[in-house]
A and B are shown apart, each in its own frame.
Chain A
């Protein structure tokens, strides 16, 4: 296995690009559920079999694909492609990832109008899948909530965003507004931390004083939404 890995590491550029296209074609053609479900398969192909990536590089990449915008599956394809084959590699990996779902969905979409929309079993199948998807999004959302939200203030912010979304404020606008808010929030946090440290260094002074004047920038950020 190790010999094989070495052999492929010295492959020509063209062969690498071909390998990227075929691997991502296979991954998105076989893996249902997208994004993070692809990860074990990526590890199997690129880390274990071909040794083009180390486990640490894959771990870094996983964190990265979840921080930059875009759907996780394509992010992973682009970053792995980039690492293994430069810009042409990234293009090949993305193209490979897109081809199978594109074809499959086109076929299904063209067949869809021919299905009988009154067939109760068919409707039942769709209702069943929708219910399962509801549960899946809920679980995903709760996991994200646990990972992301760390303080009562942040719970309040999430709630405000949620209510605004229900009140039909455009989601695009909410995300854009979240960026300056995040800057204010992080700035306020670091300042508070610095003050707390300063006070600890100065000696025993009441801690509340540091919190109160610093609350200003955050509230401005919240109102800006």
Chain B
């Protein structure tokens, strides 16, 4: 029960900090559950995001339910989902009428500007997390890449390689997203099928 309460408040925190949509949850969740509490490995987290992305429903909500379930079972899932929506309801019911009036004030404008810049940076950070699970075979080793700044040759950990299938699917997805209006579902199903076929080769 206590753990569920902790989950609830953690997700309240994520909800309040989540400027710029569901993808913002990725850095927040990995920092909490992969790096700090270590209840999930990076690979598990990647699979979880994949499931959240392919199933219908908002990505953020799917991820919350899943993380809650992995942590504490059914009630954990309930606590996490509620944690994600309760702050939204509170903010929504109190501020829905007012925020348009305050939109031009210094406080709201400054907050939006700052949080948006941070959100862009954190979404880019989420990309690097995902690169380590798709285009590369392992998490990007930033510590060894630091050697580049000292003009040395970075010592890459064993097993850190490019994944040809990952590069191919990622590249094709980007091109299709920019050049066509294919729905997300089609892209994801195509990627899943391509992944299965390519796994037979690589």
Residues of A within 8 A of B85 (CB): 70, 74, 78, 94, 98
Given A70-B88, A108-B55, A165–B134 Cβ distance below 8 Å?
A: no
Q: Bound complex: CA of A167 vs CA of B128, how far in Å?
A: 13
Kindly identify which residue among B13, B114, B142, B177 contacts A135, using a CB–CB cutoff of 8 Å: B177
Kindly identify which residue among B18, B117, B127, B190 contacts A148, using a CB–CB cutoff of 8 Å: B117
Is B123 a contact partner of A124 (Cβ separation < 8 A)?
no
Is B195 a contact partner of A186 (Cβ separation < 8 A)?
no
Q: Bound complex: CA of A138 vs CA of B142, how far in Å?
A: 19
Q: Which of B58, B81, B192 has the most CB of A within 10 A?
A: B58
**1/0 contact trace for A101-139 toward B, CB 8 Å?**
110111011101000000011111111111111111111
Is A69 a contact partner of B166 (Cβ separation < 8 A)?
no
Among the 9-residue stretches A1-9, A12-20, A168-176, A206-214, the one with 4 or more Cβ atoms under 8 Å from chain B is A168-176
Kindly identify which residue among B54, B110, B130 contacts A182, using a CB–CB cutoff of 8 Å: B110
Q: Bound complex: CA of A98 vs CA of B188, how far in Å?
A: 22
Measured between C-beta atoms, what is the minimum distance from B82 to chain A in Å? 8
Q: Bound complex: CA of A28 vs CA of B60, how far in Å?
A: 12
Residues of B within 8 A of A64 (CB): 96, 99-100
Measured between C-beta atoms, what is the minimum distance from B158 to chain A in Å? 20
* Interface size grouping (class) on chain A: 35 or more
Q: Bound complex: CA of A124 vs CA of B192, how far in Å?
A: 7
Please provide the chain B residues from 16 to 31 with a CB less than 8 Å away from any CB of chain A in the complex.
Answer: 16-23, 25-28, 31
Measured between C-beta atoms, what is the minimum distance from A157 to chain B in Å? 5
Residues of A within 8 A of B57 (CB): 28-29, 31-32, 34, 73, 100-101, 104-105
Given A71-B15, A71-B60, A137-B23, A130–B165 Cβ distance below 8 Å?
A: no
Q: Bound complex: CA of A64 vs CA of B188, how far in Å?
A: 29
- The chain A residue with its CB closest to the CB of B116 is A148
Given A32-B188, A129-B53, A137-B130, A182–B174 Cβ distance below 8 Å?
A: no
Residues of B within 8 A of A154 (CB): 117
- The chain B residue with its CB closest to the CB of A165 is B125
Is A69 a contact partner of B15 (Cβ separation < 8 A)?
yes
Does B197 touch A at the CB level, under 8 Å?
yes
Measured between C-beta atoms, what is the minimum distance from B172 to chain A in Å? 8
Kindly identify which residue among A31, A68, A98, A112 contacts B92, using a CB–CB cutoff of 8 Å: A68
Residues of B within 8 A of A148 (CB): 116-117, 119-120
Is B91 a contact partner of A69 (Cβ separation < 8 A)?
yes
Is B199 a contact partner of A121 (Cβ separation < 8 A)?
yes
Does A141 touch B at the CB level, under 8 Å?
yes
Q: Bound complex: CA of A78 vs CA of B95, how far in Å?
A: 11
Does B131 touch A at the CB level, under 8 Å?
yes
Measured between C-beta atoms, what is the minimum distance from A169 to chain B in Å? 9
Q: Which of A94, A136, A139, A172 has the most CB of B within 10 A?
A: A136
Residues of B within 8 A of A109 (CB): 65-66, 69-70, 77
Please provide the chain A residues from 138 to 173 with a CB less than 8 Å away from any CB of chain B in the complex.
Answer: 138-141, 144-145, 148-149, 154, 157-162, 165-168, 170-172
Kindly identify which residue among A105, A112, A126 contacts B62, using a CB–CB cutoff of 8 Å: A105
Measured between C-beta atoms, what is the minimum distance from B122 to chain A in Å? 5
Does A79 touch B at the CB level, under 8 Å?
yes
- The chain B residue with its CB closest to the CB of A154 is B117
Does A200 touch B at the CB level, under 8 Å?
no
- The chain A residue with its CB closest to the CB of B187 is A132
Residues of B within 8 A of A132 (CB): 169-170, 173, 187-188, 190-192
**Can you show 29 pairs from A to B with CB atoms below 8 A apart?**
A28-B58, A32-B56, A34-B61, A68-B92, A69-B15, A94-B89, A101-B55, A101-B62, A102-B78, A120-B200, A121-B199, A127-B134, A127-B195, A127-B199, A128-B169, A129-B195, A130-B46, A134-B166, A134-B170, A136-B53, A144-B120, A158-B120, A159-B121, A171-B27, A175-B122, A178-B114, A178-B117, A185-B113, A186-B110
Q: Give the top 4 A-B pairs by smallest Cβ distance, nearest first.
A: A128-B195, A182-B114, A124-B199, A101-B57
